[in-house]
Structure 1
């Protein structure tokens, strides 16, 4: 029986307050060696606060944490690490100029030499780092600078860092958010390996298939309190959703009622020396065009090129039949394009700024016609207009925040994402590019974002939806373009193909007779030729 094993880590009656906000309300949790506990809850339910309390970032106001029955008081993050508690976070924060090995062993590098004359043992550090990277199937050298690695590869470094510390408790906070299907299945193997070693794992994800694939037990948080717990084998998705949201969510994907109209965007022979080659597509008014592919397919890089953020890219872009020379983001924005990036904290918002200021950032340049108007009055920001817009978007997107004056950094990941989306709506753009718009967002917040996307196209906007969530693109997109290794390999109309066919095209496992000749990826050196 799963519950017969003695807990390694116990939390009892945990409370945490931030001023008037009661973030944790008497939370009880048991972490058991060799088991995975799913921590489930909507954004703002208290999951991040609980993780920060476990890892020594916050101190609980009430309650206790015990490791093997002994009371623990973590005054700082290093104390939690010393006790064997390690977290792998959703947002990777690393030193980009250092190597993978240096990031894995940062602050605890192996040393050699005489007392008083010790230096870093580089050979040992690189060797041990390579061992843990090989364990997680990283596929790159430990001496590789982090700046050269993709987001998915950086997540593998985070996991390798945890493995290298011989942790007793590992907290996995949205660890698969940037991984491909193949990498996710490899990751499941890593989790099972940790279980076999007797590690207690706290697993946080919004993907229900992952919960049922790797988790043994679950605890559900709502508004900072534990509202349900049990065995995953005895749970079902509708029941967990009801616990999370306090309500049933019958229809996650809304009906998209828009009918695509005239062409608003044409992209011809868009290429980059190493990232993507010869992309050709068009987008219509009132249409959702999905882009699907595995990590490294070149989808995000192509979108960055459309926004003037990939200067080596070349190609022809026409908006409403007029050729547009996009050399920098200002050119794209002036032409009516907007871009919600995948990495919201690094590219989408300014964390110390308030929610209201983040929402008004894109609209500060000057007047824009449209339903929201502009935020400036002459050379000055109009506080009244900014406040009215921010409060309207907070209500419309169900953003959980004390007020429009709350710093963006204090919001949960899902609510930060919704603020970034709201920022661009102030410009009333023609074309909205959404790059992984529901990454790290719970089921209730996803429903709100999906509804917003449906409303945007119903009002005549054109949307490009870049997503590694296959159900998203299959349910929402009128058409889906599949990319693989920098090439546009297939295009499917809604309802035209099964999920297996789309994944096969993205992975290169199957080449059908209807596949285009370009389905065989070209080496980067040939692209540049």
Structure 2
């Protein structure tokens, strides 16, 4: 028997115009949590898809428990004991949670020659998994009714249900609260004690040092190195990932704040939040903190005309403004980067160019013939994506073929291109590597220095503390505090976020 559950030797995979993997190696021991790190586009997702049978490598070997393994299809990977929790959630929204857990392997009951799905057995098995993992989910709940965080926990339970010997976790905490993260880590530690090998992919540095044993770093599709986490510092790990020093992850500029640009007075939306009041000044980054379910995203959706206002009012530059639709919001100078890029952000089959210019499309219409100015479109697409260091084979590549982080960069470029006065950013660095985070933080700071006003929603408290001038804290749809930057701390924010 091999000392390793998984051994990847000199794996390579190329696509038209890009070498995604170039001689990559990886070794994962049983009972160990092994981090795979790298910037967006480093090859992490491609490597995992090769392990799952979604891609066939061009060269190299995959050994599982010492035996060479060829994986032509994901069903083969599952049968061999390899399962994955994907970063992008794809539940069957109209079906119950338990059917999502057992999709493709429903328990059956025979009635003579007939074989029917045994719904009661499926419920009992699902309930047992949830109780074992201490998850507060209803097996019969419609999956589409779940929050993003609960969908993530459902996917974790589904992966665990396979009883796999190798479990791949791709950004498993991207939508989880601190309490849920602690629960996930408890599950990971239990799996580790049972000898399960875990590949852990995350851009959150503190998680790597909390839960992982070893780390393999990829850069530009190449193997950079493997290290014991205990022997590394955060600075060394970042340097391995990006190949350079990062001067600052939170390059916040101190700029004088101007007049009130946006005033929200006693704003309420049915079933989402109530009586929220705040000001946003020119040049200010106003952070919004809170746990999942606090109402932060719902508040931003209401300001952008995606949800109805039941009471209260919105004033822009001192004038009451009625925003009933996103069109009204854009006319008022607002832009909105949404939380879930897959369902409410990208147009998957569209190109990088299409996704960059779509929110600003009418500005490219040339009169009197009403033809599109493709020269300006190409110039602006290149300028804004180069500014964000978007990695793409070409600007005509379908955005669905980019890594999640590079998709996010295109969406940021989309809204910057509208040149908004008020930019709403809901989890702008979710699923983005540390180098890209620093770049987006720098752009946020630059925009604020130019007089733009920013509403920043983030579940990462270091980001909120590092980038905000003031912080609005919410709990279960209510505003519980507004903190000045100099007074704020993680402990104080959590106090107000839990309404203790």
- TM-score w.r.t. length of structure 1: 0.92
Q: Are residues 165 and 466 of structure 1, via their aligned partners in 2, closer, same or farther at CA, if it must alter by over 3 Å? A: same
Tell me the residue number matched to 2:328: 331
Alignment of 1:108-507 (within 5 A): 108-114=105-111, 116-311=113-308, 313-364=310-361, 366=362, 374-378=363-367, 379-507=370-498
SS in 1 for 2:274: coil
Gaps of 5+ in 1: 367-373, 510-529
Q: Secondary structure at the match of 2:339?
A: coil
Cα displacement (A) at 1:422 = 0.8
Deviations 1:350-371 (A, max 9, x none): 011111111110012x3xxxxx
Q: For residues 325-364 of structure 1, what are the alpha-carbon distances to aligned partners after superposition, in whole Å with 9 as ceiling and x for unaligned?
A: 1111111111111100111111111011111111110012
User: Deviation per CA, 1:422-472, whole angstroms, max 9, x where unpaired?
Assistant: 111221111000000000111100011001101111111100000011111
Residues 14-50 of structure 1: per-residue CA shift (max 9 Å, x gap): 0000023111111111121111000010100000101
Q: How does 1:19-58 map to 2 (within 5 A)?
A: 19-58=16-55
**In structure 2, the residue corresponding to 1:316 is in which secondary structure?**
strand
Contact 2:392 2:402 (C-alpha < 8 Å) held by counterparts: yes
Q: 1:445 to 1:302 in 2, by over 3 A?
A: same
The answer to whether the 8 Å contact 2:276/2:478 transfers is yes
Question: SS in structure 2 opposite 1:289?
Answer: strand
Check 1:313–1:404 CA distance in 2 against 1; reply closer, same or farther (3 A cut): farther
Query: Counterparts of 2:52 and 2:312 in 1: how far apart (Å)?
Result: 48
Q: Secondary structure at the match of 1:277?
A: strand
| Cα 1:313–1:165 shift into 2, 3 Å | farther
On the 8 A contact 1:305/1:313 being kept in 2, the answer is no
Query: Runs of 4 or more off by more than 6 Å in structure 1?
Result: none
What residue number does 2:62 align with?
65
Displacement of 1:138 in angstroms is 2.5
1:313 CA drift (Å): 4.7
SS for the counterpart of 1:281 is: strand
Which stretch has the larger CA shift, 282-291 or 323-332?
323-332
Distance change in 2, residues 1:18/1:192 (3 Å): same
SS in 2 for 1:346: helix
Q: Deviations over 1:294-331 (max 9, x none)?
A: 11111001101111111365431111111111111111
Checking the alignment, whether the CA contact within 8 Å between 2:384 and 2:417 is kept in structure 1 is no
Measured after TM superposition, the shift of residue 5 of structure 1 is 7.7
Equivalent residues of 1:290, 1:477 under 8 A apart: yes
Counterpart contact for 2:304–2:334, Cα < 8 Å: yes
The question of whether the paired residues in 1 share the 8 Å contact of 2:4 and 2:65 is answered with yes
Partners of 1:206 and 1:442 within 8 A in 2:
yes
Report the Cα offset of residue 496 of structure 1.
1.0
Is the Cα contact below 8 Å between 1:10 and 1:29 reproduced in 2? yes
Q: Please, which moves more after superposition, 75-84 or 109-118? A: 109-118
Q: How big is each residue's C-alpha offset from its partner over 1:214-273, in whole Å with a ceiling of 9 and x where there is no partner?
A: 101110001111111121111111111111011111311113132211111111121123
3-state SS of the aligned residue for 2:114? coil
Cα deviation per residue 1:406-426 (whole Å; 9 max; x = unaligned)? 211111111111100111122
Q: Is the 8 A contact 1:294 1:484 kept in 2?
A: yes
For 1:359 and 1:20, the matched residues in 2 are separated by: 21
For residues 372-391 of structure 1, what are the alpha-carbon distances to aligned partners after superposition, in whole Å with 9 as ceiling and x for unaligned?
A: xx322243322111100000
Q: Structure 2: any 5+ residue segments left out of the alignment?
A: none
**Secondary structure of the structure 1 residue equivalent to 2:163:** coil
In the alignment, is residue 86 of structure 1 matched against residue 83 of structure 2?
A: yes
Q: Check conservation: 1:136, 1:156, Cα contact below 8 A.
A: no
- Separation in 2, partners of 1:136, 1:315: 42
Aligned residues of 2:224 and 2:240 also touching (Cα < 8 A): yes
Matched position secondary structure for 2:34 = strand
Q: Is the deviation greater in 142-151 or in 265-274?
A: 265-274
SS in 2 for 1:113: strand
Q: How many residues end up aligned between the 2 structures? A: 498
| TM-score, structure 2 normalization | 0.97
Give the 3 Å change call, closer, same or farther, for CA 160–432 of structure 1 in structure 2. Answer: same
Per mean C-alpha deviation after superposition, the further-off stretch among 234-243 and 66-75 is 66-75
Would you say the 8 A contact 1:172–1:203 is kept in 2?
yes
Report the alpha carbon displacement of residue 135 of structure 1 after superposing the two structures with TM: 3.0
